[in-house]
Structures are given as structure tokens and as C-alpha cells.
Amino acid sequence: MRRCLIAQSGGPTPVINASVAGVLMENKLNGYFDEIYGGINGIEGILKERLVYLSDMDENAINNLKYTPSSGLGSCRYRLKSAGESPEEYERFFKILDKYQIDTFFYVGGNDSMDTVSKLSGYAREHSIDKKILGIPKTIDNDLVNTDHCPGFGSAARLIATTTLETYLDSTVYSNNGIFILETMGRDTGWLAASSVLATINDKPVVDFIYLPERAFDKEVFLKDVERVYKEKKHVYIVVSEGLKDSEGKYLSEIVPHGGHDNFGHAQLGGVAGYLKSLIIDSGITSRVKTLELGVIQRCGMHMASSVDIEEAFSAGKAAVNYAVEGFSGYMIGIRRTNDLPYEYDFFLIDASEVCNKIKHFPLEWISASGNFVTAEAVEYLRPLIYGDNSIEINAVGLPVYYSIDKNNLVTK
């Protein structure tokens, strides 16, 4: 019998479950694997032998999972040490796969998850272990290298652009409207903040300034720009990334409880909008400053998910199954854009070692010379990814029908 295992890792996205659904549906249609297991809480849970059985999900359940946000199998922020430092973790992982007669492992995740794919596949290769290990990309941050973009980003971008448009309209109802600051996620890159440029009225962006981590933040220039536009319009709309840094590379705002870092060693950020609000008020420009920190809604807002993004994530899961059946291991599924409008793409394989521990930054040439906006090239790149209403099933009281995997119904052998 052939069996496979799938798990999720890192921060959720609105469409991360669509990739799991893609694996399940492709197998249901073609019967490559006799059984499919799910790993609860990623590699961390698998090492604790926390597995559930997924093969009994029917097509209706798979379809509902496809349109369910967050990580249905749970997630983790667990970085494997090298095999030299911690051989027991690798030995345990492959013993568990042997115990359940699993020959293929799919890992849906971002940068650190691809590090796990690279390490596990490398260990298998070095020890002549006949197991296939493939990575399926996800991240709203859009920071994986060597792929055009990442599943999850398009939906987050659509939510940000829509929220920008709606809050802009809300913030312009008075004769003196003050200043509105929207803060997006984006620890290291500005892709999410940049997507606010897609919010337009009469084909003109509603945002006045967009600040990204790729350009050092200059407080004095910022205040001069804001004051100038405020005097002209009595209203300024600003979008900022949480990862803004000064000329010395220091984050403008860094939360420091419990060491101030997650389990991957990443700084926990937030509050940049509040910091900028204080700068503006202290400078005397105006006391009418409102802020909105979008927070986790960016990674779970299925109600604003792009159908392009959902179908792409779903198809990436299907592609992973077919690549595994063909015998590939140690790769991540990459996305290659073949046309903008109409948007078209195909998949290809990227060695996971060429993805992990690298960051794809927002291109500097797509940032305006003034450093406070993005160019037409950025708009051209972003626009196709947010298209299409999704097809979420709605229940009798008007709410989405989401699917919940029973994480406590563990398989035992």
C-alpha cells in the first residue's frame, strides 16, 4: 500500500487549506495513494506521533476545507536542528513514517518550512531512505525566492486593498478629515503594504504615501511630506508596513515581551502606526490622527479571498501529488507567471535548498524615487493576483460554512 502524510507550518493564510484540499482531491480522482494522513501541528506534532486519518473525507468535505481559512491541521513554529546536532529527531521522523508505511510527505509552509523540507530530504538522500518529501508554498508575506509569488498573498492583498478603499471613504466625510494611518503585516518585506496601491477611485490611488521596509525610514522627510499634503487637502492617507526600519536598520517599533521573538527567532512587531501618530501629533501638524492595525485578519480573511489565489493554492496541492508520483523529492512547487491579463501560470520545481533561509524583497526599482510610493510596474505585478470572487458556501443564517478537522481523533498503531 502507498500512503502519504501532509502537514502545515508557520503563519496561516486564507488559502493554506486549499492546498491540502488539492492533495486530497487529486488523490481521490486518481487513487495514487491508498491512504492519506494529516500531521497535527506540523513537524513538531509529527515527532510526537500526532496523526489523523484524512482518506475518509468525501468530496463535499474536501470542497468545504478548500474554502476554510486558517490551518486546518494546526501549525507550529518549530525549526529542525541540523542532522549533526540532533540526529534523534531525523531518526524518529523516519521511524514514524516507516511505522505507518508512509512513503511521501507534503509540507505546506513558508521559508522555515522549506528549510525542513531541505533538511529531511537531504537526510533521506544521504542515508538511502526511499521517501519523497515535497514543499507546497504558502505565505501572505510573498517573500519566498525563485517563485513569482506565494499562495496566500493574493487574498491578503485583496483584503488590504479593499480595506484601504473602504477606510479611505470613511476617513473623508468631514471638512477637516485629519490623517489616517493603516498598518499592514510585513516583518521583512513590503509586498503587503504595497498592495494598497490597488485601491483606486476614478482610476486614481486613494493612498497618499506607502512606506516599505526596503527603504530606510527618514522621520524628518516623513513629517515634511505629511505636513505638505495635509496643508493642501486637510486629509492624508498613509499605509505603512510593520517592518519599517530607520537608517541604522532598527525597527521603528518592536514588542519585547518574553524576549520579543518567536520560536524561529523573528522579532515580534506591531505598533508602527501608533509611533507615527505620535510623531505627527508631537510635530504639531494636527491632533486628528486615526490608526488601524489590520493584524491577523490579513491571514484569515477568507471572505475577501481572491478566487485566483484559492484555485492556485488548490492546484499547487494537486501538482505536488503528481510530482511525487513522478519520483521527485526535496523540491518546492514554484509558480511561473506566463501572462498578466488574462492571468495565466504554470508550476515548476525549485530545489528547497534554494528557497529556505532567503528573503524575496520588494524590488527597489518598484519604489518611487521619493521612497514613499510604488511604481506602475508594481501595480502591473499585483493586479492579476487579487481577481475573482470566491465561492464560499453560505448557511441558512448567512454565514460561511467552514470545515473543521477533528485534531483529537488521532490514529494509533
Judgement on whether residues 166 and 275 belong to the same structural domain of the protein: yes
pLDDT in tens, 65-123: 999 999 999 999 999 999 999 999 999 999 999 999 999 999 999 999 999 999 999 99
CATH number of residue 282's parent domain: 3.40.50.460
Judgement on whether residues 7 and 46 belong to the same structural domain of the protein: yes
Segments forming the whole domain that contains residue 281? 158-301
Catalytic choice (115, 141, 188, 309)? 141
Judgement on whether residues 181 and 256 belong to the same structural domain of the protein: yes
Number of structural domains found in the chain: 2
pLDDT in tens, 375-402: 999 999 999 999 998 889 999 999 999 9
Identify the DSSP state of 196.
Answer: G
Judgement on whether residues 262 and 165 belong to the same structural domain of the protein: yes
- Please compute the mean of the pLDDT values over residues 203-216 and round it to a whole number: 97
Q: Tell me if the bond preceding 384 is cis, omega within 30° of 0.
A: no
Judgement on whether residues 147 and 164 belong to the same structural domain of the protein: no
- pLDDT at residue number 271: 87
**DSSP string computed for 28-49:** HHH---SEEEEETTHHHHHHTT
Judgement on whether residues 210 and 98 belong to the same structural domain of the protein: no
CATH number of residue 334's parent domain: 3.40.50.450
Judgement on whether residues 84 and 26 belong to the same structural domain of the protein: yes
Judgement on whether residues 274 and 343 belong to the same structural domain of the protein: no
Active site annotation includes 346: no
Residue 269 pLDDT > 60, yes or no? no
Which three three-digit cell numbers place residue 404? 473543521
The CA distance from 240 to 367, in Å, is 13
Residue 45 pLDDT > 70, yes or no? yes
Taking the mean position of all CA atoms in its chain, how far away is CA 140?
A: 2
Flag whether 367 is in a domain.
Answer: no
Residue 14 pLDDT > 90, yes or no? yes
The CA distance from 243 to 270, in Å, is 8
Q: CA angle 200-206-212, nearest 5°? A: 105
Judgement on whether residues 144 and 162 belong to the same structural domain of the protein: no
Residue 273 pLDDT > 80, yes or no? yes
pLDDT in tens, 126-155: 999 999 999 999 999 999 999 999 999 999
- pLDDT at residue number 171: 97
- pLDDT at residue number 257: 35
pLDDT in tens, 259-268: 344 454 444 4
Identify the DSSP state of 361.
Answer: P
- pLDDT at residue number 204: 97
Judgement on whether residues 98 and 32 belong to the same structural domain of the protein: yes
Across the chain, what does the average pLDDT equal? 94
